[in-house]
Amino acid sequence: MNSLKISIVANNIKILGSNGTKGLEGGTSAFYIDSENMIDAGNLLKPLGVESARIKNIWLTHSHLDHIIDIAYVLDSYFEEREETLVIKGLKETLDAVKTHFFNDVIWPDFSKITLGNSNINALAYEEIDLYKEYTLGSGIKLEAFETDHTVKSCGYVVQKENSAVLITADTFGLESMISQLAVKKEIKSLVIECSFPSKMEELAKISKHLTPKLLFNKLQTVDNSNLTLYINHIKPLHKKRILEEIALFKGSWKVKILKDGEIINF
């Protein structure tokens, strides 16, 4: 993964997983922010390999499996290589769900009770984050969570370096809070928005709190897109062909790119 080392130099993030569910051709949501920080953990192990042992923080958007699954395997597969605690960052409800339903000694070991090697360093820890608070990483990148609209408590992130930023919605139905972020953060140059289902599945999209191309571009109608690039992720692979056709149909003047695993967003 030599290209990953390049990605921390400039203002860019790497897409480790772009799909809305696990499929043969790719992984689910995960973003490489720098060598120590990832957003979501849908697909870390395969693209990063042993490099995943160096991850210090995973910033979660929400507790759904397609966003958390590789936390389990990063800990397990590279346990011997880990030297520091893996810290899971997220909203209180997200962390509570991960502790109660995932690392609970039933589904997977409670790694927060396990220490690394012969040390007294815990393998796993949790740190609650606040919405609308800026967190500065060692690499100088700033992260800020904003609330999103999903079936469980959820957030997206604005990732900023110097004077430019990329906004990631993660799973959401409403885009009001994202549009509010655009109004106050003029540094945002790129948007990553989910689009899970084709428009014929609008009812399911509403119930499961996801977007279709029609809903997405309707909700974006009031947004001035002259300085924005729109990246789309979280497409359900089964419906990809139809979704891409509909995006082309509804996108209007938006500059749109469909994200693929391994792709880099320069922002």
Residue from 34, 40, 66, 70 binding Zn ion (CB under 5 A):
66
Structure tokens at 56: 């210090």
C-alpha of 205 from chain center: 19
The region that residue 95 occupies, defined by phi over 0 for left and psi between -120 and 50 for alpha, beta otherwise, is alpha
According to the binding rule CB under 5 A, does residue 171 interact with Zn ion?
Answer: yes
Nearer to Zn ion, 64 or 242 (CB): 64
Nearer to Zn ion, 160 or 196 (CB): 196
- Closest approach, Cβ 195 to Zn ion, in A, equals 12
The piece of 58-66, 121-129, 132-140, 160-168 that touches Zn ion (CB under 5 A) is 58-66
**Under rule CB under 5 A, how many of the chain's residues touch Zn ion?**
3
Please list the residues that pair with 17 across neighbouring strands. 30
Stretch that binds Zn ion, among 6-14, 167-175, 217-225, 251-259 (CB under 5 A): 167-175
Does 64 help bind Zn ion (rule: CB under 5 A)?
yes
40 near Zn ion, rule: CB under 5 A: no
- Rounded CA separation 163/158 (Å): 12
Alpha carbon 203 to chain centroid, angstroms: 24
* Least distance to Zn ion, CB of residue 102, Å: 14
Dihedral of alpha carbons 49, 10, 157, 19, sign: negative
- If the CB atoms of residues 147 and 171 are measured against Zn ion, the closer one turns out to be 171
Question: Is 70 an interacting residue with respect to Zn ion (CB under 5 A)?
Answer: no
Minimum CB separation from Zn ion for residue 180, in Å? Answer: 21
Torsion of CA 174, 196, 101, 54, to 10 degrees: -100
Strands (E), 85-139: 86-90, 124-128, 134-136
What is the nearest approach in angstroms of Zn ion to the Cβ of residue 62?
6
Which positions touch Zn ion (CB under 5 A)? 64, 66, 171
